[in-house]
Amino acid sequence: MLYQAILVGSEFFHLDPRASYYDRYLSEKRMDLWTKPDTIPEAEVERLILFLNQWNSHYDSSPTQRRQLLQAIRSAFPRIEAMGKATLLTIDLSTDSVRRDISLVFQAIASCGRRYEATAASKILHTIKPELFVMWDNRIQSSYACDPSSDDYASRFLPRVQKLALKALREYAKAEDVTRNEAKRALTPCGHTLAKVLDEFNFAKFTLRRNEVWDAELSPR
């Protein structure tokens, strides 16, 4: 079943030696500096790029690119702030205006350098709002029948992952006779957000191509 596959996928993700980079980055991130666009220093952007490149993103780490990325994040911040406390489970992705805002912030960050950075943009947005944005890579994009574009991220990828999340919660709640909140806690035993755990599932299933994840999802129980 899906919820079992999500748990199996998350377990395999955490076996990857690079898995610790995520927790280390978030623990060292100066969250107090990310509350307003004008308070984000270039040093924080440099730290963010280092995190990206620990995953072989090959993101340009030059001073020029750091400044351009900082400007892109600052320009996108008002729209991100307007999303408030929305999470992957609560945001209304059927609304054109919501999809447009997500597409615009994604586009601003993905296109701020010499090349279009769709994978990096998803990771950057996730670190800004870990409860809402889900990361992807090239294999995950194609597996969700998406192009690496801002429009597909907002209008295809996120809505599809949201449906997966809701399905998994329904499955778990019914199978274990618990509430949705209890199901959510059970699907995030590592302490990460549900949006992050779904990325771990996608990574294990599509990027690592672990048969165990496929087998768990296709099993009737």
Is the pLDDT reported for residue 103 higher than 80?
A: yes
pTM passes above 0.85? yes
Q: Report the pLDDT value the prediction gives residue 81, as an integer from 0 to 100.
A: 93
Mean pLDDT of the chain, nearest integer:
95
The whole-angstrom separation of Cα 43 and Cα 173 is: 43
Is the pLDDT reported for residue 220 higher than 80?
A: no
| Per-residue pLDDT reduced to its tens digit, 12-29 | 999 988 899 999 999 999
Is the pLDDT reported for residue 94 higher than 80?
A: yes
Specify whether the CB–CB gap between 165 and 88 falls below 8 A.
yes
At 221, the pLDDT band (50, 70, 90 cuts) reads low
Q: Report the pLDDT value the prediction gives residue 11, as an integer from 0 to 100.
A: 95
Task: Give residue limits of the domains in the chain.
Answer: 2-218
| Per-residue pLDDT reduced to its tens digit, 57-75 | 889 999 999 999 999 999 9
